[in-house]
């Protein structure tokens, strides 16, 4: 089951704040929580583990599943044997994320724990890490993966690395997760406030576009907002994008778009015709559904159509009138297509991930 998640950092907030945030996220269907055990030491002697336990207990009451970030050093500090994970069972968490891993044999052994705790691997490590673990016969029902987030600007994963490292987890059929970032949130685990996405290209996107990006990648099951606290509007917007029956791309309409053109864009899903052109993404269904509608030529003074322009074929092209098209490669405007809008800037790069025969939605920005 795919889930949306939030992140909590008890060392930087109060229980009342965390509780209110969990209540709000729960309202919009969020069911996962990411927390970190890597910041257990407090300068003022505060018992951060007790604060974390309080958050986890309330999260469990609401039906959240909580995964805590750990590393081998923490195992030594807390005197935890990887063959006996009772500490995490007593903590009440659903799983533990290995920010830094062991040698492979330890991770595999932990998946056989008697409590059914999930062992979440750091997907951003790449290399042959996962292959090594799989060679030690893990209990795959308890093995999942989650990418890193990157507080420092320009350090997030590239698209190619993200796809490459994620693909291995898809090959093994493991459940996966990645992070998106709130523009409203003020903190994460470290004193850097430049967003907390997995992919660098998501750092400046709006939150709906970040969700759509991960959905279109087809590599990620769970999507987690990495920083805290996201606004209610962001929580609602991300939840809507996550729950939409198909990925949705934003469109900025031209001012004088015809009502029928808005209807063609917004009132139904779009199927990318499979015999694809390098110049146009085509949805041919509207030319059948709206065959009897008048679509006069207008908004066609522009000399050249550019990538991301959304057009509707007009009456000067009778056989194709009503067809919705999105420009992939610039070409000359001969007057037979009406320019009705443009893909929003945040979503323009996502065109590369829309595949022939896939279905998508257009939504007004």
Supply the DSSP string of 308-321, one letter for each residue.
TEEEEE-TTSGGGT
C-alpha 349/C-alpha 351 separation (Å) is 5
pLDDT, mean of residues 214-226: 98
- The pLDDT score that the predictor gives to residue 42 is 52
- The pLDDT score that the predictor gives to residue 48 is 85
* pLDDT per residue as tens digits for the range 307-350: 999 999 999 999 999 999 999 999 999 999 999 999 999 999 99
Given a cut of 80, whether residue 22 has pLDDT beyond it is yes
C-alpha 103/C-alpha 116 separation (Å) is 21
Given a cut of 90, whether residue 266 has pLDDT beyond it is yes
Nearest 5°: CA angle at 147, between 63 and 193? Answer: 90
Coil, strand, or helix at residue 69?
Answer: strand
- The pLDDT score that the predictor gives to residue 301 is 86
- Ordered domains of the chain (ranges, CATH): 4-243 (3.20.20.70), 250-364 (2.40.100.10)
pLDDT, mean of residues 3-28: 97
Given a cut of 80, whether residue 45 has pLDDT beyond it is no
* pLDDT per residue as tens digits for the range 80-109: 999 999 999 999 999 999 999 889 999 999
- What is the arrangement of strands in the sheet containing 222-225, beginning at the earlier edge strand? 143-146, 118-122, 95-98, 65-70, 32-36, 4-7, 222-225, 177-180
Given a cut of 80, whether residue 233 has pLDDT beyond it is yes
Strands 143-146, 118-122: pairing kind: parallel
pLDDT, mean of residues 211-219: 98
């Amino acid at each position: 089951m795919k889930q949306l998640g939030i992140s909590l950092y008890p060392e930087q907030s109060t229980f009342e704040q965390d509780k209110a945030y969990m209540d709000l996220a729960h309202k919009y269907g969020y069911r996962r929580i990411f927390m970190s055990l890597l910041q257990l030491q407090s300068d003022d002697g505060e018992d951060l583990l007790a604060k974390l336990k309080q958050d986890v207990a309330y999260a469990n009451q609401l039906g959240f599943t909580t995964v805590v970030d750990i590393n081998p050093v923490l195992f030594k500090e807390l005197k935890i044997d990887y063959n006996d994970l009772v500490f995490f069972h007593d903590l009440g968490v659903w799983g533990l994320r290995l920010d830094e891993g062991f040698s492979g044999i330890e991770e595999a052994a932990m998946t056989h724990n008697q409590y059914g705790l999930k062992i979440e691997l750091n997907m951003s490590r790449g290399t042959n890490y996962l292959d090594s673990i799989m060679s030690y016969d893990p209990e795959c029902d308890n093995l999942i993966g989650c990418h890193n987030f990157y507080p420092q600007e320009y350090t997030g994963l590239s698209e190619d690395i993200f796809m490459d490292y994620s693909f291995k987890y898809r090959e093994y059929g493991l459940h996966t997760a990645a992070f998106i970032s709130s523009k409203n949130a003020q903190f994460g685990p470290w004193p850097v406030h430049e967003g907390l996405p997995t992919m660098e290209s998501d750092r400046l996107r709006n939150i709906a576009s970040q969700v759509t990006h991960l959905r279109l990648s087809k590599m990620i099951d769970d999507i987690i907002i990495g920083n805290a606290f996201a606004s209610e509007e962001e929580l609602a917007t991300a939840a809507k994008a996550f729950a939409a029956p198909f990925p949705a791309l934003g469109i900025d309409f031209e001012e004088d778009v015809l009502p029928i053109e808005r209807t063609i864009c917004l009132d139904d899903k779009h199927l990318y015709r499979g015999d694809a052109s390098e110049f146009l993404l085509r949805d041919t269904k509207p030319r059948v559904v709206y065959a009897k509608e008048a679509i006069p030529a207008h908004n066609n003074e522009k000399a050249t159509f550019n990538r991301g322009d959304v057009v509707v074929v007009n009456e000067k092209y009778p056989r194709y009138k009503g067809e919705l098209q999105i420009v992939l490669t610039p070409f000359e405007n001969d007057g037979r297509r009406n320019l009705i809008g443009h893909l929003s800037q945040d979503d323009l790069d996502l065109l590369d991930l829309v595949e022939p025969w896939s279905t998508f939605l257009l939504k007004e920005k």
